[in-house]
Structure 1
Amino acid sequence: MNEAVNELPKGVLHLAGNDSKFSLMRYAPSAETEYFVQHYWIVRWDLRGKEPYHQTVIAHPNVNLVFEESNTRIYGVGKSTSVRVVQDHGWVIGIKFKPGGFYPFLGAPVSSLTDRSASLEDVFGSERRSWERSILSAPDDQSMLSRTEAFLSERLPEKDPNVSLVHEMVMAFRDDRSVIRVEDAVRVTGMNKRALQRLFDRYVGVSPKSVIKRYRLHEAALRIDKGELADWLDLSMELGYYDHSHFIRDFKSVVGMSPEEYRQQRENLTTPST
């Protein structure tokens, strides 16, 4: 049985204000697939009789394979936010590969998928419809997970040692608040700048700078959504920024609005209408 993953869902904007519309469950991979997979995720929604909802996400540095009725796709890493229109009712199941974990399946630079998607046939040579029917018709989460893991287990490539290396680097960038610039990444990894950029282009799909920025903004958006509205200067310092103007500029460049505008938008979502 795949165990549920209890970490907070960073990157899904305003999730706290919309949790009544959706359920999100995440599950750890099996020992057989964990070298490549970070976790599996299942989203269910029921908006029958309601307006379609536009869900905005700051992408993680991970490739996702999403099984969805008539729309199964492999999604590369986006450079900014992406918007998914959710309507009616339904469910999807996704495989979230570790940073670097999809390269052995693709056999080409993961940057070729950046800001785009590919079909199941393009990468795996597998017929989409039969797998959609098999996986999405399963009666419960564990059955869906078992069928999804069966699909992946039959197609596992050889283990590439760079997958572990890249994953460790990305986790270090996520957890070390002193890593803000590419120069900081060079210091932490001990790898020269050009080599590090080439490695990330091939295995992650976006630059080290992009990875660092999105993790800081994931944390910022989550803090705002939870109502932990510290002074912007204090928040920027906690996230490792040297000055709050740099933080505000980064936030706006990715999210499309300032932190203050985002905070106000959250309040509008969570304040009952009269």
Structure 2
Amino acid sequence: MPDAISGHAAATTARPLCWYDGEAYGRRNRLKGIAICGTHAGHFAIDAHQPEMMGVQFKPGGAFPFFGPGGGEFHNRHISLEDVAGAGAHRLHMRLVETPDPAAKLRLLRDALLEGAPRVLAWHPAVSHALAAFEPAPHRVRVAQVAREADVSHRRFIAMFTSEVGLTPKTYLRIARFQRVLKRVWQMPDVDWAEIAARHGYYDQSHFIREFRGFSGFTPAAYFAARGPYRGHVPLHR
């Protein structure tokens, strides 16, 4: 489910990574090596039977120092790291496959990321200000107000934020609110959905259900009944 982060996923065997999307997750996708999973505004399924994989998750905007501007180009996409970083990505994947120890694999991936960062990049001050302003209560923030506070035009602010974070400010706020809901209800024994919707600033129950289903593929009640050990993942039985 979407959570405003982006990341790497690496198959640490020679088998490709697999994920499913489309109607009823009917479309199967495969990528060999290391994939970049961009920020997503929707849901997709992964193959739980993949023998071994690992990943690096970047906080919102955290991929920017490694890949630079253009985070929006990865939005809703899985891309081979080889297409971005060249043959070095293939060599890294082979080293991960050949390294037996999980801790050593993590160190290898960490070191490769740090060595591969071409330069130190800082967020534009307007983006940094926005991420801090959005955090406390995403349903109460107005994008236009944050742009005014940062002293940039509304259009320029949206372009900068999308380039560096990978989502438009409005989509980021919607996902952040959705994640607040998941975090609140995930381990609750019972849920008053009307109270949850009101607490998080949804107009009404239909608005809440529509947003929840759009991001997760489930109604709130169906998610609650099927939730698993990780709040952003639901076990599917095909």
Shared fold, TM over 0.5: yes
Residues 164 and 145 of structure 1: CA distance in aligned 2, closer, same or farther (over 3 Å): farther
Equivalence map 1:23-172=2 (5 Å): 58-68=1-11, 69=13, 70=16, 71=32, 72-87=34-49, 90-162=51-123, 166=127, 169-172=130-133
Amino acid at match of 2:7: N
In structure 1, the residue matched to 2:187 is 226
- 1: distance between equivalents of 2:223 and 2:179? 13
- Aligned-partner SS, 2:166: coil
Q: Which of residues 191, 209, 213 is equivalent to 1:248?
A: 209
Matches of 2:216 and 2:176, distance apart in 1 = 13
Contact 1:248/1:259 (8 A) holds in 2: yes
Q: Deviations over 1:130-162 (max 9, x none)?
A: 322322443444312211122112212222222
Distance 1:81 1:75 in 2: 12
1-structure distance, mates of 2:160, 2:94: 37
What residue identity is the alignment partner of 1:95?
V
Checking the alignment, whether the CA contact within 8 Å between 1:111 and 1:204 is kept in structure 2 is yes
Say whether the 8 Å CA contact 2:10–2:93 is kept in structure 1: yes
* 1:109-143 C-alpha deviation (Å, 9 max, x unpaired): 11111111222222222344432232244344431
Matched AA of 1:170: L
Unaligned regions of 5+ residues in structure 1, if any?
Answer: 1-57
Tell which deviates more after alignment, 249-258 or 158-167.
158-167
Change (3 A) 1:223 1:99: closer
Which 4+ stretches in 1 moved above 6 angstroms?
Answer: none
Count of aligned residue pairs for this structure pair: 210
Which one-letter code corresponds to 1:144 in the other structure?
Answer: K
Which segment is superposed worse, 175-184 or 228-237?
175-184
3-state SS of 1:101 partner: coil
C-alpha contact 1:101 1:163 (8 A) present in aligned 2: no
Q: Percent sequence identity over matched residues? A: 26
Q: Distance in 1 between matches of 2:195 and 2:9?
A: 38
Residues in 2 aligned to 1:170 and 1:60: alpha-carbon distance in whole angstroms = 14
Separation in structure 2 between the aligned mates of residue 90 and residue 164 of structure 1, nearest angstrom = 42
Q: Assess, with a 3 A threshold, how the Cα gap between structure 1 residues 248 and 188 changes in structure 2: closer, same or farther.
A: farther
In 2, the alpha carbon distance for the partners of 1:175 and 1:229 equals 25
- 1:80 CA displacement: 0.8
Unaligned runs of 5+ in 2: 17-31, 229-233
* The structure with more strand, counted as a fraction of residues: 1
Partner secondary structure for residue 86 of structure 1: coil
| Displacement after TM superposition at 1:260 (Å) | 2.2
Name the CA distance, whole Å, in 2 between partners of 1:95 and 1:82: 18
Distance in 2 of aligned mates of 1:255 and 1:188: 33
Query: Is residue 145 of structure 2 the alignment partner of residue 202 of structure 1?
Result: no
